[in-house]
Amino acid sequence: MTKMAASIVEHGEDAFRKLFKFYKRRNPPPDLSDVIDFSKIVKHEKVFPTELNPGAVSDAEARRAGLRPIRDWTAFGLQGYPGSQQHWVRQCLKTYPEKPNVCNLDMHMAPTETQDIWGRSADTLRKTGSRVREPKTLLEKLRWVTLGYHYNWDTKTYSADHYTPFPSDLHSISVHVAAACRFPGFNAEAGILNYYRSDSSLGIHVDESELDHTRPLLSFSFGQSAVFLLGGTQREDPPTAMYMHSGDVMVMSGHSRLLYHAVPRVVPAPKGDPLHPSLEEEGLGPGSDQGLAQGEATLIQPVSEEDWAVCSRYIQTSRVNMTIRQVLGSGQAFPAMDTKDKRIDVGHTDGYHDNQDGENVGLKRRRSDS
């Protein structure tokens, strides 16, 4: 790192927090010139190209999962860290928040009120013109959704008795991405979807609630860009800042699987510019067939013009992130739970935004600083 960001970061004294607060700062806004941008990178001291395994996923399998052929992917590694967009936007906004999946709104609203979040929000979001003084829709109040094994925000655990079927389309793309990145046998068992508004941030944390840490964590980003900080095993280790753009996939594995990380800010697309990269430019517009052969089955469904009008309006100012995990290793089972401690509800912690000090107040489990 160089310039302003580097000048405030040294080992010790919670270097991660210092840089997190630097990038989160609103007035004056931070200098973002040190943030690594993988979409534009030519040469960087911390970045190196890495090879995928194109033979792990056939072109036909990739198409069915809504992916480009693996040979067309570009992948990078980070020194010191070994180790069909429209469809997914629509799924995150319209399908995945549906019951029996769980969302933050369930904790302070009646089940009947959260039964159709999309239906209660779509007409309002389709309207053109300023909505500054109008109340937020349920979709705009959405902060997280859990899939598969539902994360319990109170106990910071997963359990066998709080599970709903994992979406087949999301399971398919996760398995293929993991295989292409040389992690065969990955099983997508749990997902946490995070919904970021323009002023949202995600506090400093480590994802360690899964019982098997040998399996990678997959992160898919859509909509507005974000500054992502990847640190070390201690809070005193200074993090590296990088952009996560729409369509980017991050795989945290090996040593990097249990590193501190955070999202201090969402970065709006420049005024008048399309999202980066443009969803429409990728040939993923409503009705696109992803180049499928006639009669070829696919899990990726075309997005109607009507649905995309809502999705497009939403992501003009927002970001959606899907993190997919394998909770149990081969042969593993959840530990027995004492009946008096047993909790199968969604918990009572509604934290998503950070407090003034950049501490996450409930979205993820934080590892001890010892």
Residue 174 φ/ψ, nearest 5 degrees: -65, -45
pLDDT digits (tens, 9 = 90+) for 112-140: 899 999 999 999 988 755 556 678 899 99
pLDDT digits (tens, 9 = 90+) for 187-203: 999 999 999 999 999 99
DSSP strand pairing (249-252 vs 217-223): antiparallel
pLDDT digits (tens, 9 = 90+) for 168-185: 999 999 999 999 999 999
Q: Is the pLDDT of residue 310 over 80?
A: yes
Tell me how crowded residue 295 is: count the other CB atoms within 10 A of its CB.
5
Written as one string, the DSSP assignment of 123-150 is: HHHH--S--TTSPPPHHHH--EEEEEB-
What pTM value is reported for the model? 0.75
At 109 the pLDDT is 93
Which token pair is 179? 């295989």
Q: CA of 365: how far to CAs of 21, 187, 246, 335, 343, in Å?
A: 20, 22, 26, 19, 17
Residues annotated as binding site? 205, 207, 261
At 341 the pLDDT is 46
Lowest mean pLDDT among 57-71, 90-104, 259-273, 297-311: 259-273
pLDDT digits (tens, 9 = 90+) for 30-72: 989 888 888 876 677 778 777 788 888 888 888 888 888 888 8
Name the pLDDT band for 325 (thresholds 50, 70, 90): very high
Which token pair is 355? 């407090």
Higher pLDDT, 73 or 151: 151
- State how far the Cα of 255 lies from the Cα of 21, in Å rounded to an integer: 25
Rg (CA), the chain: 20
Q: Is the pLDDT of residue 74 over 60?
A: yes
At 37 the pLDDT is 86
- State how far the Cα of 189 lies from the Cα of 47, in Å rounded to an integer: 31
Nearest-CA neighbor of 89 among 281, 217, 199, 220? 220
The stretch 1-21 carries a mean pLDDT of: 66
Name the pLDDT band for 142 (thresholds 50, 70, 90): very high
Higher pLDDT, 220 or 343: 220
At 34 the pLDDT is 85
- State how far the Cα of 249 lies from the Cα of 66, in Å rounded to an integer: 14
Domains of the chain and CATH, by start: 3-41+50-331+339-369 (2.60.120.590)
Higher pLDDT, 154 or 271: 154
Residues annotated as binding site for Fe cation? 205, 207, 261
At what angle are helices 117-126 and 305-315 packed, to 10 degrees?
80
Higher pLDDT, 228 or 9: 228
At 132 the pLDDT is 62
Contact 145, 35 (CB under 8 A): no
- The DSSP code for 274 is P
Higher pLDDT, 96 or 274: 96
Contact 134, 313 (CB under 8 A): no
Average model confidence (pLDDT) for the chain? 80
Q: Is the pLDDT of residue 298 over 80?
A: no
Is the Cα dihedral 319, 244, 246, 349 positive or negative?
A: negative
Q: What are the residue ranges of helices labelled H in the chain?
A: 3-7, 15-24, 59-64, 85-90, 117-126, 138-141, 168-180, 305-315
- % of the chain beyond a pLDDT of 70: 75
pLDDT digits (tens, 9 = 90+) for 247-268: 899 999 999 999 999 999 999 7
Written as one string, the DSSP assignment of 283-298 is: T-STT--TTPPTT---
